[in-house]
Amino acid sequence: MTEGSEFRHIIMFTLPLLFGNLFQQFYNIVDSVIVGRCLGKNALAAVGATGSITYLFYTLCIGLSLGTGILIAQNFGAGNEENVKKLIANSAYVVAAFGAVMTVVSVILAPDLLRLLETQDEIFEDAVGYMRIACSGTLAVAAYNWINAVMRSLGNSVIPLVFLIIASFINIGLDLLFVIVLGMGVGGAALATVIAQGVSAAGCIIFAFARFPQFRLGSEHLRFDLKTAGNCFTKGIPIALQNALISLSMIYLQRTANTFGVTVTATYTATMRVEQLIHQPFISMSTALSTFTGQNLGAGLLDRCIRGYRRTMLAMAVFAVSMLGVFMLFSGNIVGFFVTEPEVIETGDTALKLSASFYLFLGTIYVTRGLLNGAGDVNYSMMNGIVEVIGRIGFATVLSAVPEIGCWAVWATSGLTWFITGLMSYIRYKHGRWKEHGIAGGQ
């Protein structure tokens, strides 16, 4: 990525990431469609009630993986092959240990955490069952995101996509078997996803170690190195904490939605599934720009980083405006794909239009985060997380207390939080401190 057209590198790297992310969301959506249409709005609300809290445990592991990817990309760009191999081995130890701890904690605490979210009594039992099964797969989520981050940092976003597509079809087949044929309820949908995630992670890891030279590790690479593992942890934990803070703010927003009853909880679940799809192009651009920035900053090519950022921002803006138009015309039809209840569809129609008005700011967050994370500006990650927590909790508390706003506070909160966070991100970029980071922080 250190030679040739910046935009071409970023787009060609983005496309496999985008397809992979869309497939990953595809089997999440399949869960929701099968549950919502076959089991009803209460079952869909039970699945949705667990989403933010389950993501909290997932995202801590994902953050560590992203930190590892930054280090590997910078060392790979600088040609430090031995450092790359040591980072691959030691980051695996760190992520595996952390993922195992998160699995145990999340399964044990599931009922208590769902009570804190004021989950309604009529869906509580299903929500606990779904969360415990879903969280039992946290280690598989950690493993997949680790191998994905490593492969991306080496400039390969295709191999993880192949295994994710295979896992997606496995998930769909198991969804139909467990939920419809065997009648296992929401627990069957969770089990299908866990199995699919495990298959994707295992397949990708086996293939990488068999085919890629960077994974041909000798005993000197496999030996646990406290300094290297510490670097992985130090670089990854601010991103993990950023993700955790954002997740905590989403948990508060989920709690706010729950206070308005099962219909709003079901609507929020359906709109979140749709918006997760909208996030994927932004996430893919962010990840591609992060790898691009890491390799080029590691090679000392600052001007390429800046040009890459500007071109990615332009592509993001085109997508954000296009999606606003789509939702203004078809949001009701889109929500109707998940549920059949008219009250959920009507609420979701307005909710999606409200959220779509802020997509340009959402995209700014992701693209700028990609540049800053790729540069190793991990202090920004914490700032990002803190601003989102303050925004979501503050706006949700104030707006939900206004009778004229009511349940619309849930979606207005997200939009206003994207606005202030996007503005802060762009200010951080313009300040320029990220230019001081780079390979020195990864050795």
Can you say how many angstroms the Cα of residue 354 is from the centroid of all Cα atoms in its chain?
22
DSSP 153-192: HTT--SHHHHHHHHHHHHHHHHHIIIIIIS--HHHHHHHH
Structural domain for 335, as ranges: 6-441
132 is a domain residue? yes
Are the CB atoms for 422 and 279 separated by under 8 Å? no
pLDDT value of position 313: 93
State the SS3 of 62-73. Answer: HHHHHHHHHHHH
Q: Is residue 221 in some structural domain?
A: yes
Kindly state whether residue 62 falls inside one of the protein's structural domains: yes
CB 429 within 8 A of CB 372: yes
Residue 37 in domain: yes
Tell me if 1 is assigned to some domain. Answer: no
Is residue 406 in some structural domain? yes
d(CA 383, CA 422): 12
d(CA 422, CA 282): 13
**Is position 431 within any domain?**
yes
Q: How many CB atoms lie within 10 A of CB 100?
A: 14
Average pLDDT for runs of 10 along the chain of length 443: 76 77 71 75 76 76 79 78 86 87 89 81 84 87 85 77 82 86 85 86 87 83 84 78 78 83 82 82 87 80 88 92 90 76 83 91 91 79 80 90 88 92 90 66 40
Q: What total of structural domains would you count in the chain? A: 1
Note whether residue 207 is domain-resident.
yes
The pLDDT value recorded for residue 367 is 93
Measure the CA–CA gap between 413 and 2, rounded to whole angstroms.
Answer: 40
**What global pTM score does this model have?**
0.67
